[in-house]
Homo-oligomer: A and B are copies of this chain.
Amino acid sequence: MIADELLAALANPDDGEVERLDTWWRANNYLTVGQIYLQGNPLLREPLAPEHIKPRLLGHWGTSPGLSLIYAHVSRLISRTGQQAIYLAGPGHGGPALVAAGYLEGTYSEIYPDVSLDEAGVLRLFRQFSSPGGIPSHVSVTTPGSIHEGGELGYVLVHAFGSVMDNPDLLAVAVVGDGEAETGPLEGSWKGVSFLNPAHDGAVLPILHLNGAKIAGPTVLARKDPAEVRSLFEGHGYDVLEVGGDDLPGMHHRFAATLADAYGRIRKIQAAARNGDWDGSRPRWPMIIMRTPKGWTGPEEVDGIRVTGTWRSHQVPLSGVRDNAEHLAILETWLRSYKPEELFDDSGAPVASIKDLAPDGDLRMSASPHANGGRITRDLDLPDYRDYAIDVNRPAEQRAESTRKLGELMRDIYTRNPDRFRLFCPDETNSNRLGAVFEVSDRGFMEAVTDDDVSISRDGRVMEVLSEHNCHGWLEGYTLTGRHGMFATYEAFAMVSASQTVQHGKWLQEAAHLPWRAKVPSLNVLLTSTAWRNDHNGFSHQGPGLIQVVLNQRGDVSRIYLPPDANCLLSVANHCFRSRSYVNLIVIDKQPQLQWLTMDQAIEHCARGAGIWDWAGTDDASSDPDIVLACAGDVVTMETVAAAQILKEKLPGFRVRVVNVVDLMSLTRPKDHPHGMSSTWFTELFTDSVDVVFAFHGYPGAIHQLVHGRPDADRFRVRGFVEEGTTTTPFDMTVRNRASRYHLVMDAINNAKRLPRGASDLKAWCERQLDKHAAYVVEHLEDMPEVRDWSLGDWAEQG
């Protein structure tokens, strides 16, 4: 626990400390306003003139002074205590404040030497802001010390909670804007404290910054009775500390005291838990509600209209500065109110007292290795995935729930990596057949646990919460700070967090261009309970949309795998767990499914991304087949192999090649994606001219998109999920979506250039099978006989 004397000192800064805090804050505010307005005269060493003003004024002032105040005070706390901390700016449009803070700490110039610690550097800092070729107006990947893009709102707390899991020494200071606080994902993320273990996790300090307004109007929380707001957050389980005002230096004293209070409570909770002095009840973690005026220290009024404290200060409080002498004068007064002459030395570098406030080296929040997690990432200690293989004597001989094998692999990853691996899943770990992890770790839960509960405890590290947003966001925070994990979810409901997948992908894509951002563990997403296997659910549960989302991410990030069986899944998962800075999407169902490949075959198949399944086809590889039957995805793979089997038996002499695709991006041209297969290999698989009937797990358009530019791409006839769904058997699903074995056979016959005798008979036979199926469905309505037993050879029985 932290010594009482130190806490008392923290809570009661002396005059010198307050002076240093205020100097920092003034400098931070000055640099913020400068970024928004100035393109010359950066230190105001001459009178402000219209030509010093940027031609277009962009940026967000309103939230910035609050962000800077917090930054300064937390920096002081770090300097005094040595606490490791990172800063997450929920109101991320206060980008200039965070950029300025990193600049004052020196980190910015270390990373971007052009933005040097002198007058030229200040000018560069100003001119790059919100400019073409420069930096965005919000906190972004380019901002040192950030793991949280300030674009799409709502994820600051999920990132914060993820970052401190298994990170006992880290404090994540998470500022929540009152605009952002209205979003669903943010409101759903306060409950992170119900899952945070004070012994083996670090702490999150949420600071709800109620400045009253968003872009054009008031916020809900700012306009509620403060007692109601307090009640809300006490209801979420927090110890609510409130601070507010706009008097100076009063606010410095009060905020220092409040921050010290919160910090003391955190350390007390942690000390108790770590010293065995914890009764196991959920800690009541502190949070701070800070009320300061929006645009604080900016112009009170402009043109007779109140600005500070209103939504009018959200972006640029003073407009038309170049052409309006009065506005120009207001801006100059505003800028000079921070006394820039006291903030920068002759060279233009921040004065010594500012440097003194900043912590040293990696303790600076802008330089924290936790916010550049690749720097501290340790590889997973992975068991040999081949040890989990299913023994496959010959293809399609046995069925297994493939994801069970992945569960066993992850169980042993948990054991070997007790400090750096977690599975995140909305309440479906067992349902997804991943339950083996519970042999070695419970679910983590800090609310009451009863005797009837199973595999749930304070120490659990499997994260189940019925919120895709929390699961996804926690994993993002966890990986961005250098640890590994997986998010496993229902395929259709992966769209709930699709925007997070997009935004995290964008983060990784942008980070790939920044050499100082070390690569982090990949975001691994497992989709189960797929569109084709929602036997008792309905249409709402059938949607392969996330594939389409990841497909359009850039090749340096997007990876999509559709392993057809357990051994392929193991090989793919092993690869994903070793990889860095990708979005790895793995799609495979959880139900018992046919097993195709031995482990050795699976390894080779996955390494190549796609391959010919000789045993399934009838071509001899010495010449082109009559048709290529291709497939990607488990259920459609079974239909494809069954179609090939029908053709083999019923249409001898017709040469069928079966190609299975595991790595979806291998279909693209190498120039479009690093996994894109060479044109030679593509031709070896698909020929240059033979028609391809492609059965795809997802929307057919994806394949058309992927093979565009390949030789005669028009010859690809794709079957896939075409939004025909209901409560029915997987086989009936393939019929409804015209991707059944019979449809594939007919497609083959319809498209092949050479047909042996008997083809039209076979087509007629297929149509009869489909008629029989239709009759069968009506006759056996509600019997569900096919759900468990429909298999490869079942066409024969009905034939």
Name A residues whose Cβ lies closer than 8 Å to a Cβ of B.
Answer: 39, 54-56, 58-59, 127-138, 140, 149-154, 179-180, 182-191, 194, 214-220, 223-224, 228-237, 306, 309-310, 427-431, 443, 445, 447-450, 452-456, 464-470, 492-493, 495-496, 498-499, 502-503, 506-507, 509-510, 535-541, 543, 545, 548-549, 551-554, 699-702, 704-706, 708, 712-714, 718, 722-723, 726-729, 732, 777-778, 780-788
Contact = CB atoms under 8 A, between A and B. Distances in A.
Contacts of A535: 58, 132
Given A538-B151, A728-B132, A783-B131, A427 B214 contact: yes
A181 to B, nearest CB: 8
Contacts of A507: 540
Contacts of A218: 445, 447-450, 453, 456
A61 to B, nearest CB: 13
Contacts of A430: 216
A234 B230 CA distance: 10
A136 B704 CA distance: 32
Given A545-B502, A704-B708, A466 B151 contact: no
Nearest to A448: B223
A120 to B, nearest CB: 14
A496 to B, nearest CB: 5
Contacts of A543: 502, 506
Given A132-B782, A182-B467, A183-B466, A506 B188 contact: no
A782 B133 contact: yes
A708 B133 CA distance: 37
B548 A549 contact: yes
Nearest to A57: B536
Contacts of A136: 536-541, 726-727
A552 B468 CA distance: 22
7 contacts: A133-B728, A136-B537, A149-B540, A216-B464, A223-B447, A495-B499, A498-B499
A425 B140 CA distance: 25
A466 B727 contact: no
Contacts of A445: 217-218, 223
Contacts of A702: 701, 705
Nearest to A152: B493
Given A510-B539, A536-B130, A467 B427 contact: no
Closest 7 CB pairs of A and B: A232-B235, A136-B538, A184-B188, A151-B540, A701-B705, A223-B447, A127-B782
A702 B537 CA distance: 30
Residue of A149, A429, A548 ringed by the most chain B CB atoms within 10 A: A548
Nearest to A235: B232
A714 B548 CA distance: 21
Given A136-B537, A548-B549, 4 more contacts: A132-B727, A132-B782, A136-B539, A214-B466
A723 to B, nearest CB: 4
Residue of A468, A545, A700, A782 ringed by the most chain B CB atoms within 10 A: A782
Contacts of A552: 545, 548, 699, 701, 723
B786 A132 contact: yes
Contacts of A231: 231-232, 234-235
A317 to B, nearest CB: 13
A701 B130 CA distance: 30
A391 to B, nearest CB: 29
A550 B506 CA distance: 21
A184 B469 contact: yes
A232 B229 CA distance: 9
Contacts of A785: 55
Contacts of A194: 220, 224
Nearest to A142: B538
Contacts of A781: 127-128, 131-134
A39 B188 CA distance: 41
A506 B721 CA distance: 13
A415 B380 CA distance: 63
A465 B428 CA distance: 32
A633 to B, nearest CB: 16
Contacts of A492: 151-152
A90 to B, nearest CB: 12
B216 A536 contact: no
Given A132-B782, A188-B186, A306-B452, A228 B223 contact: no
Given A152-B492, A184-B187, A237-B224, A137 B727 contact: yes
A686 to B, nearest CB: 14
Nearest to A708: B704
Contacts of A726: 133, 136
Nearest to A124: B782
Residue of A503, A535, A723 ringed by the most chain B CB atoms within 10 A: A723
A234 to B, nearest CB: 5
Contacts of A706: 701
A729 B134 CA distance: 11
Nearest to A718: B708
Nearest to A129: B782
A495 B506 contact: no
B216 A431 contact: yes
B133 A778 contact: yes
Residue of A140, A234, A467 ringed by the most chain B CB atoms within 10 A: A467
Residue of A453, A465, A543 ringed by the most chain B CB atoms within 10 A: A543
Residue of A235, A492, A503, A545 ringed by the most chain B CB atoms within 10 A: A235
B777 A133 contact: yes
A495 B498 contact: yes
Contacts of A54: 782, 784
A539 B140 contact: yes
B714 A138 contact: no
A473 to B, nearest CB: 9
A506 B186 CA distance: 27
Nearest to A282: B224
Contact of A138 (B182, B184, B431, B540): B540
Contacts of A470: 182, 184
A137 B541 CA distance: 11
